[in-house]
Chain A
Amino acid sequence: MNVRTQARLWIAQRASAAVLALCVVVHLVTIIYAVRGGLTGAEILERTRGNLGWLGFYTVFVLAVSIHAPIGLRAVMTEWFAWRGASRDWALLAFALLLLVMGLRAVFAVFT
């Protein structure tokens, strides 16, 4: 991987961190509100189904996670396990896709 791509990955990780900082706060507040209010699973689904706002919000959340986590793991793999080179990057790309697919699947499951 060339240096330009490495620098861009770093920028992508910082940018996705900024998005996650907001998303995590909204997510946690929503969870606490839903639990304290005593909402049932069915009542939560009632609110999320067909709601484009929540669809958009959690799609952005999943995209940010799929970008942020694998890039962070890339440094962990390098520094803790001395795993470098193309095999590491392909494995992390697969991990990013896994996060993306599983995340979006969950998002659509509460939308439809």
Chain B
Amino acid sequence: MNIFQDTGRYCILMEHVFIKPDRWKMFFRQFRNELDKLGLQSLPIVLIISVFIGAVLTIQTKLNSENPLLPSYTTGLVTRDTLLLEFSSTIMCLILAGKVGSNIASEIGTMRITEQIDALEIMGVNSANYLILPKIVAFVLMIPFLTIFSMAIGLIGGYFVALFSDIITVAEYVTGIQYAFNAYYVFYSIVKSLVFAFLISSVSSYYGYYAYGGALDVGKASTTAVVNSSILILFFNLLITNVMLK
């Protein structure tokens, strides 16, 4: 199937997704489950990756900027801006495309091949709306919190380096992460993550929803979902950066 057919089918699917749910009660029940599954259950991986990346960024920045002309707060500043501008939105969403994207695609794909989606349709339920809308809404709502959480934890990772090693002093690091703080970077990062969350959840849902065949094909759909979500994230990252940071 070519890119135009895929795009067309994706748009048609989204048309079925973004309509008023048959029953709000059922929507909110699904929504609550998805908040937990896609949002809260992503916290551990965000925490682990952010703390280590924050620490490594601090060490690498310090080791690569051993220049007496550079002020002592450089390390903290570079660590902070890297986390704010790129890591906590783009890189974190690329990682979440793997976790959340494969979860969504395999869950919906399994429902498709075991005829559970057909069962919903036979009952008269709009299966696309019932299954996909709560996932998109829940993940898009959770992503700003995950992004801000990642920023904070990344900065704490760097702080640990300052605290437990002699690479950089705590005072230098703290001064660096406070120096010339631009709140717009946080806004920019959140806007990016909202777009990425929509892409991850909708693209993965699309590949799961149109999965066919057996268990192996669900695996393939899941892989395709992760790869294509990641490519789209990179493309939109460039696009949004051009629009918002020029």
**Does A associate with B in a complex?**
no
